[in-house]
């Protein structure tokens, strides 16, 4: 069990850190089959560089493209650590994207 009481789950031979993340994966796969989204990716990585120096890497839960062509990055969150909040702000500022938080 994780320190935030999340219970891992395996779906399609993929281990998810929480049951909520697993449920969201199932929903996104369904949306992809229905043609509502495309290019679903798990654990997309975003390098956080400042002045050409790598500071850290932010790993989101999912990213995909909506039917209208909009790029979406999602993170399933139960508890927001201070490190998560900082990395989220940095990624949004550096990459010019908005990270959608799913409960």
- Is pLDDT at 43 greater than 50 in this prediction? yes
- Is pLDDT at 63 greater than 80 in this prediction? yes
Query: Would you put residue 40 in left (φ > 0), alpha (ψ -120 to 50) or beta?
Result: beta
Among 52, 60, 69, CA closest to 91? 60
Among 32, 28, 53, 33, CA closest to 43? 28
> What are the residue ranges spanned by the domains of the chain?
9-102
Confidence of residue 103 (pLDDT cuts 50, 70, 90): confident
Residues 6+ apart with CB under 8 A from 62: 24, 25, 28, 40, 41, 42, 44, 73, 74
Q: For the segment 81-91, what is each residue's pLDDT rounded down to a tens digit?
A: 999 999 999 99
Among 2, 6, 14, CA closest to 62? 14
- Is pLDDT at 36 greater than 80 in this prediction? yes
**CATH 3.40.367.20: does it fit domain 9-102?**
no
Residues 6+ apart with CB under 8 A from 75: 60, 61, 84, 88, 99, 100, 101, 102
Q: Which pLDDT score, from 0 to 100, does residue 1 have?
A: 45
- Is pLDDT at 2 greater than 70 in this prediction? no
Confidence of residue 41 (pLDDT cuts 50, 70, 90): very high
Confidence of residue 79 (pLDDT cuts 50, 70, 90): confident
Q: Which pLDDT score, from 0 to 100, does residue 4 have?
A: 66
């Amino acid at each position: 069990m994780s320190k935030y009481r999340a219970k891992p789950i395996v779906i399609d031979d993929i281990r998810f850190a929480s049951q909520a993340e697993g449920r969201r994966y199932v929903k996104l796969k369904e949306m992809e089959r229905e043609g509502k989204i495309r290019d679903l990716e798990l654990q997309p990585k975003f390098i956080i560089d400042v002045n050409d120096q790598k500071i850290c890497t932010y790993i989101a839960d999912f990213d995909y493209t909506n039917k209208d062509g909009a790029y979406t990055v999602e993170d399933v969150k139960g508890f927001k650590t201070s490190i998560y909040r900082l990395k989220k702000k940095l990624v949004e500022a550096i990459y010019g994207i908005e990270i959608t938080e799913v409960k």
